[in-house]
């Protein structure tokens, strides 16, 4: 093979694009690698301007190249961007040299271009990966299968205190407390099987000797052939989180203790209050009756005192009930009695002190004899009817009904007052819940309905309501 044939063969088989062009940038030869790299066949390329490969914003490059070539200077290896036939852009490393004729005259240029897109991209990805590893708050460490540390990021230094120089080359057990050494064997045997170890919470030891709570994820590292050659480990410092959890537990415990103290105190105080209140109430009621028909000034005073002490008595009773509910000590004494009688009694009693509202009760629908705790049910109806009165200050009637439905006895208490927005319906029965915007000028603690519900639940019953804002509410209990 002569020299020329040898050269031709080299050009044909090269992996780099080898192109020649005139000093006017017209392509004069185009090897198979050029076709592979840029997408044009030799027929398509030869005769056209090389500028078709240069992105529009970089056309100046060609002017510069040609002027260099004309002055006999080669352009060694530079990296730039070119456009393929399909419009995609690629990174190329280019070398351009002048071509001379037999007389030494420069007649054109030869250009060798290598596609370095994959290289540039992997460099970029590497740069990004390095930046991520370096800026991570987590420790990112790699090690060989026998446990030798091979890389150590700044996060690892922050968490464990060792610099890369102090850690790389050492065995990973540097970080593992003695009593946890067996963990490493488990981790490595999983890694050897190609498995990941995920979010494993444990304790590691820092350079200063302090123990650090970490959450660890370990993944196998494979070489190009897919063989497992080591492990990468990400460790997050969760010491603060753990300390916070501990503190929270401690607070909850303290709160429980103080809550039970509070319940005990309320229960004790209410008990102590109950006795004198009962005796004051009895005396006042006695005095009040004695003053029937007597001087109206004194009578008014005793009536006021009776009303006040009755309120106080109810409040103390409610506080005792809450304490009982909290400690699971709300007990019931069941007996069988007439529901109608009980309702009449309650309505009559309320009528004595509330003259504005008339309370209607139609007892013709059902005459149930029910088995329940009579005193507790009395409390339920007092709560519902006094609420109906309290929250309908502009109205003058309350309607009570009782009827049978689905084998149960239902009692309803209807008022024609302010009504209750739907979003509060479920919450009304929780402890201390009041509808602030509606109850501001009406005294109360938000415990009546809570106790009411607990009593009904204790009777295997139900309580619910229907209400229209501005029109009124109906509370239902069934048991």
DSSP state at residue 461: -
Does residue number 410 form part of the binding site for ligand ADP (CB under 6 A)? no
Does residue number 463 form part of the binding site for ligand ADP (CB under 6 A)? no
Structure token digits, residue 348: 């009559």
Give the shortest CB-291-to-ligand ADP separation in angstroms: 31
Does residue number 318 form part of the binding site for ligand ADP (CB under 6 A)? no
Q: Figure out which of the listed residues 61, 115, 321, 415 binds ligand ADP, where binding follows CB under 6 A.
A: 415
Q: Which helix (H) or strand (E) holds 79?
A: strand 75-83
Please identify the residue of the shown chain whose CB is closest to the bound ligand ADP.
444
Give the shortest CB-187-to-ligand ADP separation in angstroms: 58
Torsion angles phi and psi, residue 409, rounded to 5: -100, 130
Assign 421 to helix, strand or coil. coil
Give the shortest CB-319-to-ligand ADP separation in angstroms: 12
Tokens 């004194």 belong to residue: 298
Nearest-angstrom CA–CA distance, 149 and 31 = 49
Does residue number 448 form part of the binding site for ligand ADP (CB under 6 A)? yes
Does residue number 417 form part of the binding site for ligand ADP (CB under 6 A)? yes
Q: Figure out which of the listed residues 237, 267, 387, 401 binds ligand ADP, where binding follows CB under 6 A.
A: 387
Q: Please say whether the beta carbons of 288 and 280 come within 8 A.
A: no
Give the shortest CB-139-to-ligand ADP separation in angstroms: 55
Residue closer to ligand ADP (CB basis): 160 or 429: 429
Q: Please say whether the beta carbons of 475 and 412 come within 8 A.
A: yes
Nearest-angstrom CA–CA distance, 143 and 230 = 6
Q: Residues, the chain, total?
A: 479
Residue closer to ligand ADP (CB basis): 340 or 438: 438
Site for ligand ADP in 87-126 (CB under 6 A): none
Structure token digits, residue 128: 């990004």
Give the shortest CB-468-to-ligand ADP separation in angstroms: 11
For residue 301, how many other CB atoms are within 10 A of its CB?
14
Q: Which residues pair with 114 in a beta bridge?
A: 93
Q: Figure out which of the listed residues 27, 156, 447, 463 binds ligand ADP, where binding follows CB under 6 A.
A: 447
Does residue number 418 form part of the binding site for ligand ADP (CB under 6 A)? yes
Interface region with ligand ADP, contact rule CB under 6 A, candidates 22-30, 207-215, 370-378, 415-423:
415-423
Size, binding site for ligand ADP by CB under 6 A: 22
Q: Figure out which of the listed residues 230, 473, 477, 479 binds ligand ADP, where binding follows CB under 6 A.
A: 473
Q: Figure out which of the listed residues 97, 435, 457, 476 binds ligand ADP, where binding follows CB under 6 A.
A: 435
Does residue number 434 form part of the binding site for ligand ADP (CB under 6 A)? yes
Structure token digits, residue 145: 């299968």
For residue 64, how many other CB atoms are within 10 A of its CB?
10
Give the shortest CB-436-to-ligand ADP separation in angstroms: 8
Tokens 């401690």 belong to residue: 250
Say which residues have a Cβ less than 8 Å from residue 154's Cβ, sequence separation at least 6: 134, 135
Interface region with ligand ADP, contact rule CB under 6 A, candidates 139-147, 211-219, 296-304, 427-435:
427-435
Interface region with ligand ADP, contact rule CB under 6 A, candidates 70-78, 86-94, 187-195, 439-447:
439-447
For residue 249, how many other CB atoms are within 10 A of its CB?
10
Give the shortest CB-331-to-ligand ADP separation in angstroms: 21
Cα–Cα distances in angstroms (integers) from residue 283 to residues 280, 302, 305, in the given order: 5, 10, 11
Say which residues have a Cβ less than 8 Å from residue 116's Cβ, sequence separation at least 6: 79, 91, 92, 93
Torsion angles phi and psi, residue 102, rounded to 5: -55, -30
Does residue number 454 form part of the binding site for ligand ADP (CB under 6 A)? no
Give the footprint of ligand ADP on this chain (CB under 6 A).
383, 387-388, 391, 415, 417-418, 420, 428, 433-435, 438-439, 444-450, 473
């Amino acid at each position: 093979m002569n020299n020329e044939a040898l050269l031709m063969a080299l050009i044909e088989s090269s992996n780099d694009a080898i192109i020649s062009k005139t000093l006017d940038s017209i392509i004069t030869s185009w090897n198979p690698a050029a076709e592979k790299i840029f997408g044009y066949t030799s027929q398509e390329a030869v005769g056209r301007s090389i500028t078709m490969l240069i992105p529009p914003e970089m056309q100046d490059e060609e002017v510069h190249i040609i002027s260099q070539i004309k002055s006999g200077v080669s352009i060694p290896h530079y990296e730039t961007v070119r456009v393929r036939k399909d419009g995609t852009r690629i990174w190329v490393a280019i070398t351009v040299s002048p071509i001379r004729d037999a007389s030494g005259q420069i007649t054109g240029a030869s250009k060798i271009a290598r596609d370095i897109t994959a290289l540039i991209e992997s460099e970029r990805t590497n740069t990004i990966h390095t930046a991520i590893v370096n800026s991570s708050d987590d420790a990112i460490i790699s090690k060989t299968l026998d446990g030798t540390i091979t890389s150590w990021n700044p996060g690892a230094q922050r968490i464990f205190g060792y610099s890369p120089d102090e850690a790389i080359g050492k065995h990973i057990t540097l970080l593992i407390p003695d009593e946890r050494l067996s963990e490493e064997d488990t981790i490595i045997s999983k890694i050897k099987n190609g498995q990941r170890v995920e979010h494993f919470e444990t304790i590691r030891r820092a350079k200063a000797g302090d123990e650090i709570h970490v959450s660890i994820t370990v993944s196998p590292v494979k070489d190009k052939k897919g063989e497992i050659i080591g492990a990468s480990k990400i460790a997050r410092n969760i010491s603060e989180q753990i300390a916070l959890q501990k503190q929270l537990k401690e607070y909850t415990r303290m709160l429980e203790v103080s809550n039970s103290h509070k319940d005990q105190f309320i229960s004790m105080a209410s008990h102590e209050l109950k006795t004198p209140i009962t005796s004051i109430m009895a005396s006042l009621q006695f005095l009040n009756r004695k003053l029937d028909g007597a001087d109206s000034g004194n009578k008014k005073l005793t009536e006021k005192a009776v009303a006040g002490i009755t309120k106080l008595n109810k409040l103390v009773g409610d506080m005792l009930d809450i304490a009982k509910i909290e400690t699971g000590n709300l007990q019931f004494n069941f007996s069988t009695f007439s529901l109608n009688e009980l309702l009449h009694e309650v309505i009559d009693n309320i009528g004595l002190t509330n003259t504005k509202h008339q309370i209607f009760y139609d007892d013709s629908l059902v005459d149930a004899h029910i088995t329940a705790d009579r005193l507790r049910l009395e409390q339920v109806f007092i709560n519902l009817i006094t609420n109906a009165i309290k929250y309908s200050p502009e109205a003058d009637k309350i309607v009570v009904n009782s009827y049978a439905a689905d084998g149960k006895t239902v009692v309803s208490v209807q008022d024609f007052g302010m009504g209750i927005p739907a979003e509060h319906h479920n919450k009304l029965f929780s402890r201390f819940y009041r509808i602030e915007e509606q109850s501001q000028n009406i005294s109360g603690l938000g415990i009546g309905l809570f106790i009411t519900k607990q009593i009904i639940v204790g009777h295997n019953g139900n309580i619910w309501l229907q209400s229209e804002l501005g029109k009124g509410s109906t509370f239902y209990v069934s048991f």
